Chain A
């Protein structure tokens, strides 16, 4: 395996190592964040390390279940449990976005746990309420929320973020998005040079590593692209719930499929939307028009995006994976199925990080032949 790919997939999985290293080498602060609607550019501009928080499928989420109830997306319950268990190492602050209802509830729980002193060791928490309706009134609101976040991050960092530093950070993250787009193309080649699980881990790594280190590793990976092993499989596009670990992709690919694209923001959607200029106003628009994600976009926008993206990926089938208590995907699915016109399957109420037996059985109908070469 390429050395760069090995490092990226390692950091994509073991998400704490880079943060521990950052603290040890730079004595730098680490800011945990929830959701792709957090403008990480402010954290980078302040000289802090943004670490996107993920859950841990298969690990009991007892504390999260207690505070959030068992009817909420298990990812949020797992993230809360991990925060209370200090699984991410010391954090100097947490920024939560409104990327889905479960994240908002997670924020409210963290805020209340701190207020009533049930979890005094939690770091300060900030909600950045990025909204998405395509209206000018929403743009003005998002700008106000970004200014508020900027002030909070400045307080945490103990320094101000000037416009030049913000412009530099925007450029750094745009460069990352460019490189992620090029890396994503490797799994659309015929034969593919990355599996879906590998591609997902690479994206995840870029949300745990310092941006400059992530950039260097992605550049290295691209130079080694011709040396990467080839992969074949029945090419599927994954829609539905986001995947903060590669467990489900691995299970899909073990079943003979090859995930060539997806429309969630732990994958291709993370790098889709660009920032038109290195300014705060452009950044606000970038995050307002981020997506279209299942919990925030209209059925119509989702269906059109899925149709186009699946076509661009050369997908032969559509898999809608809807995690238990993540309800938006199931409302999107009928229109997505009609729009793509592809053979498709809805895997409903799936356990976190896994496929149930019924889902595995349903997938056999999609796979006429071929298996992933590993």
Chain B
């Protein structure tokens, strides 16, 4: 089954048109924000400030096989080309001597950049953005908690105060109030509470559709769609969350998956093994996900993009700004920090009935040991692949393919 999802094609077409329009608007001197993926984009949506997600642009550059060129531009200026590449590649756009030749016509120069001070390097990358003419950086704190309840996915939709903790929420709410004042002053735009409530409602509606889609795929036998097709169907609307289009796109994706399930569509008719992909998308080789269907009857049924959309964003009740703070104050903990990450991956593996997990472990191995351990302890075979998701230099594609093939034969099919 090779027909691409209509929702994926529609989302990609929408994104191209949106980006072309955004470029036109920026060329006329409009405001443009570059924001990190885990930043509170809903504020920008509410105020009508166009934004580009840093990591999305990084994935476009990498998919167009320009990442090495861009990393080279950083190295020419004395900056590392092997540090936080997923976040640093867009910075190189500012140094591109031939922007007209860049993917999608190039990233327009932002006027505002926004990031949390996660890790040791994120804020440095944005500090350099801040030195570019006409660009202002607004840093947000990133806080950590001493003690957390384990089953966050049960608490987050309504009991987020308990899941995240009041100190972090006090801090992040204060940070968001500061951000709003900053944006009011620098852009002259207003923040309407009424509009903000609409945006928050639309985001919850969108993620509810994603939740239904996730549950459909989890239950479906055989798997009705390739995982790499689900990524644009989820993620492009995710970058537009808070719009009617994004909510409707999530619904269209759901309906299309439901139709395939009803029709008994199989991405891999001889499905013998259901696999989970843990880690970021392998942007330099997206075909990788389908390489084991014919040879081993193995199909990837899970990636974090739909699953985190299903479990990671829903926030109901309370003050809307505090609810937004609760969406972001601990977002990356959901994916990368034990015990949250490890227990959630086990929950998702069981929910999807997977036979094995391929776990992409970059050098920056956040909580990977504990994720692998928890899955293996639950009786699920895990293969760790050691590579960076955007930097093709870190991986030999043929070797990765052989490794997965051997593992499927040795550990996954051995239990058939």
Chain A interfacial positions (CB closer than 8 Å to B): 66-72, 98, 100-101, 104-105, 107-109, 111-112, 115-116, 126-129, 131, 133, 135-138, 140-141, 144-145, 148, 294-296, 298-300, 325-328, 330-334, 337
Contacts and interface: CB of A to CB of B under 8 A. Distances in A.
Nearest to B137: A298
A129 B146 contact: yes
B146 to A, nearest CB: 4
A107 B376 CA distance: 23
Contacts of A131: 117, 141, 143, 171
Secondary structure at chain B's binding surface: helix, strand, loop or mixed? loop
Given A129-B144, A136-B174, A145-B167, 20 more contacts: A70-B365, A101-B120, A104-B144, A109-B369, A112-B342, A115-B338, A116-B370, A128-B146, A135-B141, A140-B170, A140-B174, A141-B167, A148-B167, A295-B120, A327-B84, A328-B121, A330-B79, A331-B121, A331-B124, A332-B124
B363 interface: yes
Nearest to B146: A127
A212 B127 CA distance: 41
A112 B338 contact: yes
A69 B338 CA distance: 14
B366 A137 contact: no
B175 interface: yes
Contacts of B77: 334
Contacts of A296: 117, 120
B141 A71 contact: no
- What 7 A-B pairs have minimum CB-CB distances, sorted nearest first? A69-B365, A71-B363, A137-B174, A331-B124, A295-B120, A334-B78, A328-B120
B80 A330 contact: yes
B15 interface: no
Given A104-B144, A112-B338, A69 B120 contact: no
Contacts, number: 126
A119 to B, nearest CB: 12
B80 A98 contact: no
B145 interface: yes
30 contacts: A67-B370, A68-B369, A69-B363, A69-B365, A69-B368, A69-B369, A70-B365, A71-B362, A71-B364, A72-B364, A112-B338, A115-B339, A127-B144, A129-B145, A131-B117, A131-B143, A135-B174, A135-B175, A140-B171, A141-B167, A141-B171, A296-B117, A327-B83, A328-B121, A330-B80, A330-B83, A331-B125, A331-B127, A331-B128, A337-B78
Contacts of A128: 146
B356 to A, nearest CB: 21
Interface of B: 77-80, 83-84, 117, 119-121, 123-125, 127-128, 139, 141, 143-146, 167-168, 170-171, 174-175, 178, 337-339, 342, 361-370, 373-374
A69 B359 CA distance: 14
A337 B77 CA distance: 12
Instruction: Pick from A71, A131, A140, A144 the residue with the most CB of B within 10 Å.
Output: A71
Contacts of A326: 120
A294 B120 contact: yes
Contacts of A138: 141, 171
A330 B373 CA distance: 33
A322 to B, nearest CB: 9
Contact of A112 (B117, B141, B167, B339): B339
Contacts of B362: 71
A127 B175 CA distance: 22
Contacts of B144: 98, 104, 107, 127, 129
A283 to B, nearest CB: 17
Instruction: Pick from B117, B167, B368 the residue with the most CB of A within 10 Å.
Output: B167
Contacts of A337: 78
Given A69-B369, A300-B127, A331 B80 contact: yes
B178 A137 contact: yes
Contacts of B364: 69, 71-72
A255 to B, nearest CB: 24
